[in-house]
Structure 1
Amino acid sequence: MSRRYNLNRLSHFVATVDAGTITGAAEALGISKAVVSKQLQRLEEDVGTPLLLRNTRHLQPTAAGRQFYEDAKSALTQANNAFERVQDRDRVPKGTLRITAPVDFGVSYVAPFLAKFQDTYPEVMVDLHLSDGLVDIIEDRFDLAFRIGWLTDSSNLARKLLDFEVIAICSPTTAARANIREPEDLSEIPFVQSSVMSGRTEWVFEKDTQSKAVSPNVISEINITLAMVAHVMNGYCYTVLPDFLLKDDLRQGRLKRLLPDWSLMKGGVYTVTPPNRVRSNALKRFLELAHQNISV
């Protein structure tokens, strides 16, 4: 019969190594120094080897103690996760979620998903803010942001939801009039630029081993994708946008892809949450289902 160990002593040992002193461990655990000291002594008796080097001011793990610390901390983490998973299973999501998303993506993807989510979890109230501008989720106190494009380094927590390709598009009338065959032919057509991309001076088209840079002739800058598409549909101009936002217009012939044999950059759609914030059960469930169900 295998020997049974007092697993509570793992938490005393890990807390002591983390704090560097028995006093610090006792404060973290909310118990007396005498209890911590006694449990450490018995733990070393259990394992049959010294785990800590003691002096008057500080404690350091021995070589065996360092390995034991890593294993013990991993075991405690798994145990805590097991508790949380059981608690989450039986906890009904409720409360308020503040979510922001780009306008087109919010209308076409987030809002339909949100309707299904709230059918399942009616106690979750969602405040959905749609904007094609860059929102500071910490300053504006959002729980979640959907971001399209290329993320800059930040302390926020991001997870990729979708991949996309940027494509050049115009109206069928513009395509017939301009007769674009090579990237350099785009200089014949004025360009509608997203204000998110303001300052960008060229687009690089690639095919096989070829690479050609195009400097667009910008005639307008617009901050809403829907307005960019309307402009392109009704004017002699072109723009570049993520392909998944255009699939219905392309399929129904309202837009035409230029240079389909050439590729522009690829990007992603991400869910972004603030760092160091406890996630509510509603947010956890929303994220889990969004990543399972939102697709293009």
Structure 2
Amino acid sequence: MADVRDVNLNRLAIFVAVVDAGSLTAAAARLGLAKTMVSTHIQRLEAEIGASLLVRTTRRLSVTEAGRAFYEASVKILRATEEALSAVSGETAPVRGTLRVSSPIDYGALAVAPALVELRREHPQLDVELICSDHYVDLIADGIDVAIRLGRLADSNYRAVKLGSFVKWIVASPAFVETWGMPRTPAELSRMPFNAMTVLPHPLTLELHRNHGDSSEKENVRCESAFQVNTADACRAATIAGGGFGLLTDFSSGDDIASGRLVRMLPQWSTEPASIQAIFPPTSHPPAKVRALIETFKRQLAQTA
């Protein structure tokens, strides 16, 4: 077994960059090194640990089974090193390095991307990569520093910080309302065409809520006629086009309501408030770049509330 004293730990960062980038050329550009230098570091790292990490051909690069295990361990080592440096550097140290952030597609475009632009403006030595997907990512396996997630979270060992909250409104286009009328009760929604999100656990069921002073009322509505889509952007587009009513987030439909492209139906009803949270691996000292993102995001949400 290789001795840790024989391994150049700087090469772990280069190896992780190659796996993340998917090629030696892309990793070299990201690291600011010559491709030949990156290749040399990988070869020497393989020699130091006595295992083949990558399989390189003229057309593609793939990670060996040993390489995948070594990659996951290297990510943890680099993150722990970064946390240690953050813990001793003090609050005045510049925020630097690369911050990889995951977010849902629609919320990433509407809120996360602008917040990250502001973060880079405040910390110009920080590189940022935003990965938008409506499917959960594995923070450790995918090398994600922070995931912005909406709604109820599954139990996990990750740390979570609440950034804000949101609700969903019942909305439709003016043309849809003219054709189908304005419902007076939630039960009337069941007879209307509905634009449903297939990525939700129960896409055809509306869980609605309204307050009556000190009390509240809940009602579940089952929709039968539905146009089903798998992204929030497509659901919004179908709703604006009049294909059905939608249950859309306040942050995605607010501008459409203000402009008249959409109207709220049953405005006293909505979903119950749900959380917007930052999720990151459990650490006693979150890296400075993670803390900076949380602070910037909270400030952006407060300004746009």
Normalization by structure 1: what TM-score? Answer: 0.66
- Pick aligned residue for 2:156 from 139, 154, 157: 154
Provide the C-alpha distance between the structure 1 equivalents of 2:269 and 2:133, rounded to a whole number of angstroms: 30
The answer as to whether partners of 2:169 and 2:248 remain within 8 angstroms in 1 is: yes
Match of 1:274 in 2: 281
Provide the C-alpha distance between the structure 2 equivalents of 1:90 and 1:265, rounded to a whole number of angstroms: 40
Provide the C-alpha distance between the structure 1 equivalents of 2:299 and 2:269, rounded to a whole number of angstroms: 31
Provide Cα deviations, 1:121-170, integer angstroms capped at 9, x if missing partner. Answer: 11111111111222222221200011111112111111111111221111
**Higher-Rg member (1/2):** 1
Provide the C-alpha distance between the structure 2 equivalents of 1:213 and 1:141, rounded to a whole number of angstroms: 39
Provide Cα deviations, 1:230-257, integer angstroms capped at 9, x if missing partner. Answer: 1111133112122122110110011111
- How far off is 1:262 after superposition? 2.3
Provide the C-alpha distance between the structure 2 equivalents of 1:115 and 1:84, rounded to a whole number of angstroms: 22
Relative to structure 2, which stretch is displaced further, 262-271 or 201-210? Answer: 201-210
Distance 1:134 1:86, change over 3 A: closer
Matches within 5 A, 1:91-106: 91-106=93-108
Relative to structure 2, which stretch is displaced further, 175-184 or 211-220? Answer: 211-220
Provide the C-alpha distance between the structure 1 equivalents of 2:149 and 2:113, rounded to a whole number of angstroms: 15
Match of 1:187 in 2: 190
The answer as to whether partners of 2:119 and 2:292 remain within 8 angstroms in 1 is: no
- How far off is 1:268 after superposition? 1.3
Stretches (4+) displaced over 6 A: 83-86
- Pick aligned residue for 1:197 from 200, 204, 210: 200
Structure 1 residue runs without a partner (length 5+): 1-82
Q: Tell me the amino acid that sits aligned with residue 269 of structure 1.
A: I
Distance 1:133 1:91, change over 3 A: same
Distance 1:211 1:118, change over 3 A: closer
Provide the C-alpha distance between the structure 2 equivalents of 1:291 and 1:246, rounded to a whole number of angstroms: 21
Match of 1:4 in 2: none
Matches within 5 A, 1:283-294: 283-294=290-301
Provide the C-alpha distance between the structure 1 equivalents of 2:185 and 2:139, rounded to a whole number of angstroms: 41
- Secondary structure at 2:149's aligned position in 1? strand
1:236 and 2:238 are equivalent in the alignment: no
Provide the C-alpha distance between the structure 2 equivalents of 1:134 and 1:85, rounded to a whole number of angstroms: 29
Instruction: Report the count of equivalent residues.
Output: 214
Q: Tell me the amino acid that sits aligned with residue 125 of structure 2.
A: E
Provide the C-alpha distance between the structure 2 equivalents of 1:136 and 1:229, rounded to a whole number of angstroms: 27
Match of 1:254 in 2: 261
- How far off is 1:261 after superposition? 1.9
Match of 2:172 in 1: 170
Normalization by structure 2: what TM-score? Answer: 0.64
